[in-house]
A and B are shown apart, each in its own frame.
Chain A
């Protein structure tokens, strides 16, 4: 008795377990009809493997047009910002709270920078780092206030009149000890 087409197809695909696969192999080897059917099945499989992948887009477009004509889909895709998202209420509340906190932090940051944020950090080597998030004009005003604090002069020294100042050499600069004339 010859096996039906489904069993032969399964046997070709290696889906028949022992000992039945051996029995089928023996039968196909001795049955001319089954050999012919197996050859046809193999031919179909080869043609499917060798055929190019079909282009599904026209078919999808036809389906889409059909849905649109029936009012089951819109003509254009819905933009992301118009899409509705269903969220659990606690998650929505948490999201709103997070947005409010971030907005508050941003507002405070803007206010702080507009009024001149100052950060003073003591450095390990004894120095001080001063960061002032303010316009340069404000910083300059702060530094000028130091000058006012001591009432220091403008830094112009008027030399006496009728004094003959003539160069006697190149300008020199150094520690007092480097000039023997002044050494104690």
Chain B
């Protein structure tokens, strides 16, 4: 009987110790994830046809781990752009950027919606710039003065926690 009374507290104590140990491991896992984390910096630029005009820029920095996608949505008056970037680390340590772009836009005066999609798999190195022109790439010469070109720049760098704060 005494043995049975001792058994229950011992089992509870073992469970508590195991739970504490696992809490520690979750923290370790978070640290390991951060050690392998990548920063995906996405810059959106709207460049007017006239060089004299000022360009518009917005940036979004997302943190991810290799194999986990980063999604960015650009919302405009007549355009919705979805960019999904997934960095992969290859066996030799190099990065592979798999990107998917979706573009929805309406064009006056018809107000009909059009849809484009694109997909690309590009080997990159840290800091190397990848450009995405969701509405195509125009030649500056001969364009309408009121025309704006939009481009997205994607850069992958290793995450450094100290630098982020």
Closest to B107 in A: A166
Q: In the complex, A178→B120 CA distance in Å?
A: 13
Closest CB of chain A to B66's CB: distance in Å? Answer: 8
Q: Which among A120, A166, A179 is the interface contact of B28 at CB below 8 angstroms?
A: A120
Question: What CA separation (Å) do A77 and B80 show in the bound complex?
Answer: 79
Give how many A residues have a beta carbon under 8 Å from the other chain's beta carbons. Answer: 50
Q: For residue B74, which residues in chain A have a CB less than 8 angstroms away from its CB?
A: 156-159
List chain A residues, Cβ under 8 A from B136: 167-172
CB of A146 within 8 A of CB of B33, answer: yes
Separation in Å of the B16 CB from the closest CB of chain A? 10
**How far does the alpha carbon of A146 sit from the alpha carbon of B38 in the complex, in Å?**
11
Residue of B nearest to A182 (CB): B131
CA–CA, A176 to B124, complex, Å?
11
When the two chains form their complex, are residues B71 and A165 in contact, meaning their CB atoms are under 8 A apart? no
A112 CB to nearest chain B CB (Å): 6
A19 on the interface (CB 8 Å rule)? no
Contact with A along B90-127 (1 / 0, CB 8 A): 01110000010101010100000010111010101000
Within 8 Å by CB of B72, from A125, A155, A161, lies A155
CA distance A169 to B137 in the complex (A): 7
Q: Are A143 and B164 in contact (CB under 8 A)?
A: no
**When chains A and B are docked, how far (Å) is the Cα of A158 from the Cα of B138?**
22
- Flag if B76 contacts A163 (CB, 8 Å): yes
Q: Is there contact, CB below 8 Å, between A176 and B60? A: no
Contact B116 A167 (CB under 8 A): yes
Q: Is A149 among interface residues, defined by CB-CB distance under 8 A? A: yes
Contact B62 A152 (CB under 8 A): yes
Contact pattern, B 121-146, Cβ under 8 Å of A = 1, otherwise 0 = 01010001111111111101001001
A176 x B33 contact (CB < 8 A):
no
Contact A128/B76 with A111-B15, A172-B133 known, Cβ cut-off 8 Å: no
**A162 sits at the interface (CB 8 A):** yes
Contact call A176/B128, Cβ cutoff below 8 A: yes
A130 to B68, CA, bound (A): 13
**CB atoms of B18 and A108 under 8 A apart:** yes
Binary interface encoding of chain B residues 35-65 relative to chain A, with 1 for a CB under 8 A from any of its CBs, else 0: 1110100001010000000001010111111
Residue A51 is within 8 A (CB to CB) of chain B in the complex: no
Chain B residues whose C-beta falls within 8 Å of the C-beta of A176 in the assembled complex: 128-131, 153
**B164 x A150 contact (CB < 8 A):** yes
CA distance A149 to B46 in the complex (A): 30
Question: What residues on A are CB-neighbors of B14 within 8 Å?
Answer: 107-108, 111
A181 in contact (CB, < 8 A): yes
From B28, B30, B75, A159 is in contact (CB under 8 Å) with B75
Contacts of A171 in B (CB 8 A): 101, 103, 116-118, 132-136
Q: What are the residues of chain A within 8 A of B29 when measuring CB–CB?
A: 118, 120, 130, 132, 142
Q: Give CA–CA (A116, B157) in the complex, Å.
A: 30
| Chain B residue contacts of A39, Cβ below 8 A | none
Complex contacts, A115 vs chain B, CB 8 Å: 18-19, 22-23
Q: List 9 A-B contacts (CB under 8 A).
A: A117-B22, A126-B93, A143-B33, A146-B30, A155-B72, A157-B72, A159-B76, A160-B56, A163-B77
User: Top 6 closest A-B pairs, CB basis?
Assistant: A169-B136, A159-B76, A115-B22, A176-B129, A171-B118, A168-B138
